[in-house]
């Protein structure tokens, strides 16, 4: 399956922009982009992974080398693992540390409350009860 050259150019310019790594788009890199895109990776995946890696660099958990073209795009297996990690991290609720300090100082819980998920049976029972309530209300 061939990836259009315009898509490869878009991916490369996005990579250069979000990573801060200005590297020329050579023929070898075009082949690398094709191999990278074959599993179905998207430009949004690229942005998400770079965002997570930049955060780790800022926290001192990673070095700038993780954003190198050969490390990020050239190793599809590593990219897939990093993408899975980035998706998992994006599902974790984020807490503002300043807000957490204020909540702690005032004796309130610092973690967001866990949402309760209702079963379909509970939803159907509640709907049936509401319909009964509506019938009684209409009778009055």
Per residue in 72-128, pLDDT tens?
999 999 999 999 999 988 887 666 778 878 888 888 887 766 767 788 888 899 999
Q: For the whole model, what pTM was predicted?
A: 0.65
Mean pLDDT, the chain, as a whole number?
89
How confident is the model over 61-70, as pLDDT tens digits? 999 999 999 9
- Residue 46 contacts residue 68 (beta carbons within 8 Å): no
| Backbone Cα Rg of the chain | 24
**Using CA atoms in the order 8, 14, 20, 24, what is the torsion angle rounded to 10 degrees?**
20
pLDDT tops 90 at residue 14: yes
**Kindly report the CA angle at 22 between 77 and 37, in degrees rounded to 5?**
30
């Amino acid at each position: 399956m061939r990836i259009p050259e315009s898509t490869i150019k878009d991916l490369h310019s996005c990579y250069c922009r979000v990573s801060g790594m200005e590297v020329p788009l050579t023929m070898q890199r075009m082949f690398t982009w094709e191999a990278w895109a074959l599993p179905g990776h998207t430009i949004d995946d690229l942005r998400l992974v770079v965002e997570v890696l930049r955060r780790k660099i800022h926290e001192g958990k990673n070095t700038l080398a993780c954003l190198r073209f050969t490390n990020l795009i050239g190793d599809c297996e590593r990219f897939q693992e990093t993408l899975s990690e980035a998706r998992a991290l994006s599902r974790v609720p984020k807490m503002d540390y300043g807000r957490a300090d204020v909540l702690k100082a005032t004796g309130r819980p610092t973690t967001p409350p866990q949402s309760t998920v209702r079963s379909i049976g509970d939803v159907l029972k509640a709907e049936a009860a509401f319909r009964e309530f509506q019938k009684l209300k209409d009778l009055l």
